Amino acid sequence: MSLIIKIENVKKFYNQSRALNGVTLSMHEGEEYLIRGASGSGKSTLLYLLGGLDKPTEGNVVVNQKNLNELNDEQLAVYRNRYVGFVFQFHFLLSSMDCYNNLLLPARLAGLSKNEMAEVVQRVLSLAKSLEVTHCLEKYPYELSGGEQQRINIIRALSLKPKLLLCDEPTGNLDSENSQKVILLLRTLAKEFHATLVVVTHDPQIAQSFHNQFLMKDGMLVTA
């Protein structure tokens, strides 16, 4: 597998707070990775840098041979829309839209052609059937259970076939049974879409199932 992510001595400071203190790591295309650590260890900050949601104070974040530090706001927006899929602990679905329109929002923002849009619609409907949430498409997010909301969230994240799937505490609001189902789902779909999967969690039960792990403490990589 080719190298897809290279993080070089990355530091991130917020005023007097040091969220990251010199992190260096590499990840390979199509692999599964788990970043674990206590709250405040810097794991979510690292994920946001990978997703282009923030920029480091020092160091380089290189994804698919592109240094994210060198991209302007417009280029980062395109990167987030077309290359990255995000699954957060909180689903961030728009309450003013039904689930079907929430799922198509990334494609509409991308300005796809008519044929490309038709492909996205087919993909979304196929995933909704596979994930057993077809009955949710005409409902609004607040009408769904936590597990249903997260499955809709996952479909939206995969709607444009991202090469990088970033998940920040994706099971934080779910019980243990649904947590295992969601993690299995993420891993299965990431393989199907040939995406690199990066999961951030503090849940030791989930961590047990990942071979590639990074442990963070006080903004630093402790073991790999």
- Torsion angle of the four alpha carbons 209, 170, 205, 38, in this order, in degrees rounded to the nearest 10: 110
pLDDT tens track for 88-129:
877 789 999 999 999 999 999 998 999 999 999 999 999 999
- The pLDDT of residue 99: 97
Q: pTM for the full model?
A: 0.89
CA distances (Å), origin 173, targets 177, 179, 189, 200: 12, 9, 21, 14
Q: Quote the CA–CA distance of 219 and 42 in Å, as a whole number.
A: 5
Q: Quote the CA–CA distance of 124 and 153 in Å, as a whole number.
A: 11
Q: Quote the CA–CA distance of 145 and 174 in Å, as a whole number.
A: 10
Q: Could you tell me the end-to-end alpha-carbon distance of the chain, in angstroms, rounded to an integer?
A: 18
Structure-token pair, residue 109? 């923002």
Class of domain 1-80+198-224: alpha beta
How large is the angle between the packed helices 99-110 and 114-130, nearest 10 degrees?
150
